[in-house]
Structure 1
Amino acid sequence: MSDDQIRKERSHLDSRDRVMSEPANGVIPTPHSGTISLSLKPGEDPPRIGLAPGNATVLTFYDQTGAPWPITSVTSGNSDAFATTKAGQNGKTNMAVIAPKASYGYGNLVVTLEGLPVPVIFSVVNGSGVVDYRKDIRIRGRGPNAQEDITEGSSLQPANDKVINEFLDDLPPKGAVAVKTSNPDVEAWRYKHLLYVRSHMIMAAPDYVQDHKSPEGSRAYAIDEYTLRGSPVLQFLVDGRSVYVDLDLGDIE
C-alpha cells in the first residue's frame, strides 16, 4: 500500500471507531443534575430519572435537615434495562448508582431508607435524550442522622419546593430579579412576593417561610418580603456571632 492508501485506510478506521462510540441515534444526551424534594404522601407523582448508555446516575438521599439518610435496599423494576447498587460503606451509605444495560428501556426503582416505613419510588427512562448525572433527593422528614435545627422557620404557608430548589441549585427561575446585598457570601432574589436568599451561613432573622440545605452546605431561604418592610436586614449566625447583611429592596409596595 502507498502512503496515501495507508492514510486513507487509517482515516476510514478512525471514522468507523468514532461512529461506533456514538449513541445509536447519533444524539449525545443532555446531562442534568439537581435536587428533588419528596413528601412521600399518597398520590405524590414519582420523580423521573433519565438514563443514557455509557453513563452512570447517582442518587443521594438526605433528610430535611440536610443529614445523609442511609439506604437499606435498592431494587430495579426492570433488571434487563438497568442495574442498581449502593455505593459506599454498607449500612451507612446514602448513595445509589443506576447504570443502563441496554440502549432503551423503562421501569421503576424502589429504594428503602433506614427507619422510613414507606419506600421511595422513581420512574426510570433510558434513552430519552436526557441523562441525570446526579440527583439529590431530599425527604421531608427527620432521618436517623438528623441535625438539630438552630433556628426554625415561621408558621406561614411553605413555598414551592421546586422553586426553592432552583434557587438552591443556583438556577433562579425565569422572572426572578437579583437583589443587591452588602455581603458577597449572600445572594438574594425577589420572586412572586417572596425573597429567596442563598448562602452557606445560617439565618437567624427574620422568620422565613421555608429553608432547604444542599449536601455541599449551601442553604436557601424563602422569606415573605413584607416582613422586611422598613428594615431590609438579614441576620446570620457564624461561629456563634451575628453577621448582618443589608438588602437593596427599594420600595416594598
Structure 2
Amino acid sequence: MTAAYNLPNDEEAIKIAGAKLTLIKNVQYGKFESVLTPISNLVLVEEQQKHVDFGAFFTHVLLHEVAHSNGPHHIVDDSNTTVRSRMEELHSTLEEAKADITGLFAASLLVKNNTITGITLEQFYVTYLASAFRSIRFGLNEAHGRGQAIQLNYLVDNGGFEYEDGSGKVKVNFENIETAVSNLTRDILIIQGNGSKEDAANFVEKYGNNREKTIKLLDLLADVPIDIQPIWREVSESAQPGSKCIIF
C-alpha cells in the first residue's frame, strides 16, 4: 500500500513541469500501528523500543521523497546522460537506498540546526532501524526491500547498528551511527554521480542480501502483517452519497 509518492520518474518531464510529492498520512499511521510497532517490539532491544515514534517515521518518509527529487539525476561528467540509463536494472534498488539514507542524513542536519523540533535523533535512528525490518520483508526482488537490505548490512558493518549477544536483537550504536550514515550517503551518491554500473553491481552484490542474523529476526515476524490493506465501506446512511472511509 503506497504511503507516499514523488512523480513523475521521467527526468525530461520533470524538467518541463516539475514533480508532485504526496504524503498519505492516514496510510502511514496504519503502517506504523499495525506493522512497524509490532516489528519494533520483536526485533529491537528493550531499552531502545521507547524511541520508536510516528513523528520520526512520518518525517523520514517525507525526507525520503525529497531526496528522490534532489538527485543526482544525471551523471557528473555528462549532463545529458541520466543515472537511470547508466544503472539500468540496478537503478531502482540503488535509488531507493539513496533516498532512505539521504533522508536520514538530512534528518540529523535538520535536528541539529533546530529546523526539526520535537523529534530527537534517537527517535529518528531507532525508528529507521525498526522500519528496516518492515521494508526488507517486501523481498530482495523488490527495490525497497533490497535497497533496505543494502543499508542495514552497510550500517552493521560500519558499527552504526549492532546485534545483541544472546538475544540476537538489534540496536543503534549512538556513538557510531552518524558517521556510518554519512559514509553510506557519500558512497551511494558517488556511485550514482559517476554512473558506473560496475561499481553499482559490486555494491549491490556485497550488501544486498539477508544475512543469517537478519533472517533469524525476520523469522520472528511470521505473525506480523507485511503491509496493510484498506477496507472501503459506506460511512452511514446520513453521509453524502458515495462517501467512503478507510478502516485499518
Structures share a fold, TM > 0.5? no
Q: When you count strand as a share of all residues, which structure comes out higher?
A: 1
Aligning the two structures, in what range does the TM-score lie when normalised by the shorter sequence?
A: under 0.3
TM-score (structure 1 length as normaliser):
0.22
- The structure with more radius of gyration: 1
